[in-house]
Chains A and B, each alone.
Chain A
Amino acid sequence: MISNQILQSTIEGLKGITRIDFCICDTEGKVLASTFSEAEEYENSILAFVDSPADSQVIQGYQFFKVFDENQLEYILLAKGSNEDVYMVGKMVVFQIQNLLVAYKERFDKDNFIKNLLLDNLLLVDIYNRAKKLHIETNVKRVVFIIETKHEKDGSALETVRSLFATKTKDFVTAVDEKNIILVKEVKPGETYADLEKTANIILDMLNTEAMSKVHVAFGTIVNEIKEVSRSYKEAKMALDVGKIFYSGKNVVAYSNLGIGRLIYQLPLPLCRMFIKEIFDGKSPDEFDEETLTTINKFFENSLNVSETSRQLYIHRNTLVYRLDKLQKSTGLDLRVFEDAITFKIALMVVKYMKYMESMDY
């Protein structure tokens, strides 16, 4: 259960303190981690020791120890030397590894619990019972972040996120598929959505910098109880999808900021087609030239303000008015009128959504 890398770093660290060489093998004599090179030579001795009733034994100048996990023999530890000091240090190392096993098992159980919680695989009563057993608080505020990596099984990204958050015992990092890393984060008192946005940006920037991974980050709303965590997860998932359709330039998307995009995302495609046909009379806004699209976007950005838009576009006010008149002639919508502007804005978003649905490609 514990990775060989962890075992190796543990015995290297212990060797650094005690100056005693160690080796950890499995019950078939295979070396898992070692601080000396000739460890393979002891395979037969290890197999004999496994079969013996002794918990520790001196063989060929090494102290052999059995490491149990809940009465199940898990590892054999070899400590170089046969004196009492080596025996004492060896016992301490066994104790350390056993504690590591307990910690990892607990973490693994927690990981399973969080996965099942996110995927709605638990009965309500089980959620509270298991949370209690795993010492997970049930009544604290939490939020779910999803970090979507470009490549499947991006180990660097997972390790970076774990290093940033998993050391905090109240946050959980897990994965339910191969492209998404999930962070269930406890929300501190007073923490706002602006703070969560900042956290999301930190995740993004750290992953870009350290793991050099292309990622998108989305997060759901803050939930008050553990049973609602899956809702925050579903929201984050939706935010990830909706963000790709309507806010493709953004790498961080919050469910709470999806706005009207969230509604459009749930519209059936035939209804969208009908709406666009009615608004644009069969034409697509794609057919507008770049100049017209830039004008429209700038006009919306500036809250339908003609003076500011013409200033930012470096065109005369009359030129802008001419362009808007031309658009009105071709679509029947006058963007200077709020009702028409909102219809046009929704229509543009519906077209984006239809394109996404038709291509199912980002």
Chain B
Amino acid sequence: MAGLLLKNVAKLYPNGGVGVKDISMEIADGEFAVLAGPAGSGKSTLLRMIGGLEDISQGDIYIGGVRVNDLEPRDRGVAMIFRNYILYPQMTVYENLAFGLRLSGCGKDEIHERVTETAKLLEITELLDLPSEQVTGIDRYKVAVGRAVARKPKVLLMDDPMLCVDGELRREMREGLAELYRHLGVTVIYVTEDAGEAMALGTRLVVIRDGALEQTGTPEEVYEKPINRFVAEYFGDPAINVLEAMVGEENGRAVLTVAGSHGVFSEENSRRLLAAGYAGKEITVGVRPEDIHCEPECLERFSDNLIDACADVYETAGDAAYMSFRVGSYTMKAKVPQSAGIRPGDEVKLAVDPSRVYIFDKDTQKAI
């Protein structure tokens, strides 16, 4: 096992393109770090740089305290799993697991030991003698993962291995991966575009956009305290509601006007806004769907923050139900209880918990 340290790492292409911009971060030994961000943001490039498959233009990468910039991939103590994996045709599962070990120069006995150990860990021992063509579904994925695990890596690098699958298999793969991580205790760096998957799997999130590091932290930290609007919008399904608001000041406290409704900020947000001189200026506010309420007790409790809204589209998602509301020129989504009985077209009042409102600078979109 080993931790990972990146110091000012950058990837500059000879034609002037920038793949990764000056990223510094530390992943502790045994962490499950998820590099999350939209397609083309540089996550995979960074992962490949860690694995040694892309040259580093600038900065240093340390694995287990050892600078690995000039080491070949096979000498870095890493194993990789990518999104496109197949099993070698006309080889048994055993031979599939042994292939990479043979290439890396392991002896026959060592290969046998590692293959049987890996098969036991992944619960595929009974498949070892089967031709790979006869292996299907989750077992194929297990064999692909097994090829990497059998190398006994210090760091396991995974580039969106579930991208090409969906539905039940994806859920099974995700559960299997979480379990494997618990058993192996190895450091994992995992790339995904799927914010939900990132939140579910990671012990640490590393949010990347346009090649730059936006924020790192535990899933809770990133969700609860997004550093900017992008991070706030990226995590959460349905996404956070974002509105433009005018900040005012009444009796020494910041108040807001948004889509014709008036409200107050929490004490903490109020203090920040006034201290930074936002009174009389426009800002961007964000409210997550689960922080908008229509229950009578909430309307009473947050009576200073009521919004006039018109119910629009109702959709259920498992045990939760989400409703879209028209609020002035905005459409807001709120999580509503099934019992609320709101029908499309109903004029309703919605309450917002002021302590759950995110505030961003309108120009920079950074959290205030």
Q: Footprint of B on A, CB under 8 Å?
A: 156, 159-160, 163-164, 167-168, 198, 201-202, 204-206, 208-214, 245-246, 248-249, 286, 290, 293-294, 314-316, 352, 355-356, 359, 361-362
Contact = CB atoms under 8 A, between A and B. Distances in A.
Contacts of B82: 204-205, 208-209
- Chain A CB within 10 Å, residue with most, of B88, B159, B229: B88
A355 B14 contact: yes
B80 interface: yes
A209 B81 contact: yes
A211 B86 contact: no
A212 B84 contact: no
Interface string B7-43: 0000001111111000000000000000000000000
A214 B365 contact: no
A245 B100 CA distance: 32
A313 to B, nearest CB: 9
A355 B15 contact: yes
Contacts of B74: 212
Given A160-B103, A167-B89, A206-B85, A212 B16 contact: no
B70 interface: no
A359 B251 CA distance: 67
B84 A204 contact: yes
A202 B84 contact: yes
Nearest to B161: A205
A86 to B, nearest CB: 26
A210 B103 CA distance: 8
A209 B13 contact: no
Nearest to A359: B14
Contacts of B85: 202, 205-206, 209
Contact of B147 (A209, A249, A316, A361): A209
22 contacts: A156-B103, A160-B103, A164-B88, A164-B89, A198-B84, A202-B84, A205-B85, A208-B80, A209-B148, A210-B100, A210-B103, A212-B53, A212-B72, A212-B74, A212-B80, A214-B54, A249-B17, A286-B16, A294-B210, A314-B365, A316-B363, A361-B14
A249 B19 contact: yes
Contacts of A211: 100, 103
Contact of A214 (B53, B88, B100, B229): B53
Contacts of B148: 209
Contacts of A293: 16
Contacts of B159: 205
A204 B159 CA distance: 13
B24 to A, nearest CB: 19
Contacts of B53: 208, 212, 214
Nearest to B360: A314
A359 B16 CA distance: 14
B45 interface: yes
A273 B159 CA distance: 41
Main secondary structure on A side of the interface with B: helix
Contacts of A209: 79-82, 85, 100, 147-148
A198 B79 CA distance: 22
Given A159-B103, A160-B103, A211-B103, A205 B13 contact: no
Contacts of B83: 201, 205
A14 B331 CA distance: 74
Chain B contact patch, size range: 35 or more
A212 B104 CA distance: 9
Contact of A210 (B19, B99, B363): B99
Contacts of A202: 84-86
Contact of A164 (B14, B17, B86, B100): B86
B16 A201 contact: no
A314 B364 contact: yes
Nearest to A245: B15
A164 B88 CA distance: 6
Contacts of B100: 209-211
Given A212-B52, A213-B73, A314-B229, 20 more contacts: A163-B99, A167-B89, A201-B84, A202-B84, A202-B85, A202-B86, A208-B82, A209-B100, A210-B99, A210-B100, A210-B147, A211-B103, A212-B53, A248-B14, A249-B19, A290-B18, A293-B16, A314-B364, A315-B363, A362-B14
B86 A206 contact: yes
Interface string B131-149: 0000000000000000110
B316 to A, nearest CB: 31
Given A156-B103, A314-B365, A352 B88 contact: no
Nearest to A164: B88
A159 B80 CA distance: 18
B329 interface: no
Contacts of B48: 208
Contacts of A156: 103-104
Contacts of B229: 314
In the A-B complex, the 9 residue pairs with the closest CB atoms? A205-B82, A212-B73, A248-B13, A205-B84, A352-B15, A212-B74, A156-B103, A202-B84, A210-B100
- Chain B CB within 10 Å, residue with most, of A211, A356, A359: A211
A100 to B, nearest CB: 17
A356 B15 CA distance: 8
A204 B85 CA distance: 10
B339 interface: no
A167 B364 contact: no
B91 interface: yes
A204 B80 CA distance: 12
- Chain A CB within 10 Å, residue with most, of B15, B17, B19, B159: B15
A205 B158 CA distance: 11
Contacts of A167: 89-90
